[in-house]
């Protein structure tokens, strides 16, 4: 059953979605109206964003410093800013940054936006919450757009992430990450472990045939 669904999604709906995303598109979720620029990860078609948002929604974020690393459309960032978090949204994709700036004005939001390759441009500071919906396919991205999907042939994104994140945490910070059965979770956990981090599974959900996971990451 799941195999048939996956075949359909890959071979039939996949090409339709690729065609649809060749233009800027409007998208709304839970009161957040966004323009999703062409070339930016679309939270309506790829379910990890909403799964992550709904899992973290149990947290009281009011007044907390929240970093969304690789914010893409900014749905998560704008949502939690509306709930009172002090949000920094970063991305390495210039189109994502343009979209974040546009949507910030449109939503009259107070999020801060920063173009940054992971932590490279983020001034050292401790965040209460860090949210990451990472690229996880082991391939070298050929464009900024592909950086939404590919973490480098040797998982470079994750080596960089786990070797740097420590400088942005305090003892009670919470780090949330979404992953899927389509990625090499064991490898990613092993990379985290090298930097003394361990994963704890918070939520697991099958969405359109694909098992999605939300982890909280702890210093071990
Ligand atoms: C899977 S998308 C998730 C986007 C958004 N967080 C969401 O949940 O809808 C991954 C995002 O990370 C960004 N990204 C990839 N590599 C990055 C890096 N080295 N530094 C900052 N952002 C990066 C991509 O441009 C993309 O917007």
Tens digit of each residue's pLDDT (9 = 90 or more) over 12-46: 677 777 777 778 999 999 999 999 999 999 999 88
Domains contained in the chain, number: 1
Q: Where residue 114 sits, what CATH number does that domain have? A: 3.40.50.150
Picking from 15-19, 114-118, 150-154, which range would have the lowest pLDDT averaged per residue?
15-19
Going by alpha carbons, the residue nearest to atom 23 of ligand 1 is 70
Smallest CA-to-CA distance from 75 within 94, 57, 92 is with 57
Select from 32, 50, 91, 131 the residue to mutate for testing ligand 1; criterion: most ligand atoms less than 8 Å from CB.
91
Beta strand pairing call for 197-207 and 112-115: unpaired
- So what's the pLDDT on residue 177? 98
Instruction: Please report the pLDDT score of residue 12 as a whole number.
Output: 60
Q: What is the pLDDT of residue 11?
A: 63
Per-residue pLDDT, 22? 79
Q: In the predicted model, is pLDDT for residue 6 greater than 70?
A: no
Residue 43 burial (C-beta neighbours within 10 Å; 0-12, 13-18, 19+): buried
- pLDDT confidence band for 8 (50 / 70 / 90): low
pLDDT tier for residue 7 given thresholds of 50, 70 and 90: low
Does the reported pTM lie above 0.75?
yes
**Ligand 1 atom having least distance to the Cα of 118:** 20
H or E element: which one contains 87? strand 86-91
The domain in which residue 52 lies consists of: 2-219
Per-residue model confidence (pLDDT) at position 4? 59
Q: What is the mean pLDDT of residues 90-95?
A: 98
Kindly indicate the confidence band of residue 53, based on its pLDDT and cuts at 50, 70 and 90: very high
The DSSP code for 40 is S
d(C-alpha 124, C-alpha 165), whole Å: 10
Other CB atoms within a 10 A radius of the CB of residue 52 amount to 24
DSSP 155-171: -HHHHHHHHHGGGGEEE
Indicate the SS3 state at residue 100: helix
Q: What pLDDT is attached to residue 16?
A: 75
Q: What is the pLDDT of residue 193?
A: 97
Q: In this predicted structure, what is the pLDDT of residue 27?
A: 96
Quote the pLDDT of residue 5. 55
Model confidence at 10, pLDDT cuts 50, 70, 90, reads low
Please, where are the H alpha helices in 9-133?
14-20, 48-56, 75-82, 94-107
pLDDT at 86: 98
Q: Are 185 and 193 contacting, i.e. CB atoms less than 8 angstroms apart?
A: no
Residue with tokens 């939690």: 80
CA 104–ligand 1 middle distance (angstroms)? 18
For residue 42, give the ligand 1 atom closest to its CA: 9
């Amino acid at each position: 059953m799941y195999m048939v669904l996956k075949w359909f999604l890959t071979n039939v709906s996949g090409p339709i979605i690729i065609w649809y995303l060749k233009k800027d598109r409007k998208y709304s979720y839970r009161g957040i109206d966004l323009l999703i620029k062409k070339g930016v990860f679309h939270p309506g078609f790829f379910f990890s964003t909403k799964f992550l948002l709904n899992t973290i929604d149990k947290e009281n974020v009011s007044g907390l410093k929240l970093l969304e690393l690789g914010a893409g459309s900014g749905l998560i960032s704008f949502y939690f800013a509306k709930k009172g978090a002090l949000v920094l949204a970063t991305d390495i994709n210039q189109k994502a940054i343009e979209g974040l700036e546009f949507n910030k004005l449109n939503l009259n939001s107070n999020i801060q936006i920063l173009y940054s390759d992971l932590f490279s441009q983020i001034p050292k500071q401790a965040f209460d919450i860090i949210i990451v919906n990472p690229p996880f396919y082991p391939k070298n991205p050929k464009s900024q757009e592909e950086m939404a999907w590919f973490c480098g042939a040797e998982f470079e994104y994750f080596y960089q992430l786990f070797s740097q994140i420590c400088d942005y945490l305090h003892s009670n910070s919470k780090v949330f990450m979404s992953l899927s059965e389509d990625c090499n979770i064991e490898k990613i956990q092993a990379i985290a472990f090298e930097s003394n981090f361990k994963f704890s599974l918070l939520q697991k959900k099958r969405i359109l045939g694909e098992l999605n996971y939300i982890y909280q990451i702890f210093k071990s």
